[in-house]
A and B are shown apart, each in its own frame.
Chain A
Amino acid sequence: DAMVIQNPRYQVTQFGKPVTLSCSQTLNHNVMYWYQQKSSQAPKLLFHYYDKDFNNEADTPDNFQSRRPNTSFCFLDIRSPGLGDAAMYLCATSLKGGLETQYFGPGTRLLVL
């Protein structure tokens, strides 16, 4: 089945130690998104890629970066995680165009010690 895959499902890192979260998709969608969801809150968009074009939300901290080496994969890099970055990180994909449904992966729960 076509799907959005996130690895790992759970990630523990130390305060200040760089961490990378991975997302892959078999849907062949042009657009990939990263959302941050803190406990008991709604997901919040960090940035998205339209093909190779990176689009950052205005309030996304510089500590968060992303890479998309090809259509199938997208990475979220947190350069120096703080305790406040502990959250669920959700990857989503959609076809190009503003009218398409976003499909989400299972998420990665990040714990910062």
Chain B
Amino acid sequence: DAEITQSPRHKITETGRQVTLACHQTWNHNNMFWYRQDLGHGLRLIHYSYGVQDTNKGEVSDGYSVSRSNTEDLPLTLESAASSQTSVYFCASSAGGLSGELFFGEGSRLTVL
């Protein structure tokens, strides 16, 4: 079965360190997204990609970067982790076109001390 997997599921890091969260999908979807989920804020879009070599900033992109070198992967990098980036991060993918359904991973819980 096709799926979307995130790793690590849990990570604790220190302020100032670089962190990369991995996202891998086997749906063969063109569209991939990164969201962060915080209590009271729902899901906020960080970065997204519509295909290989395409990346775009979302509403809360400061301090984050992504790269898309193949269809399956969209890693999210925190260049210099800050305590404000403590959150649960979700990767999602969609087929695009008329189908707007997002398929989510199980999330990565990041704690920045």
The yes or no verdict on A and B being binding partners is no
Chain A residues with CB under 8 Å of chain B are none
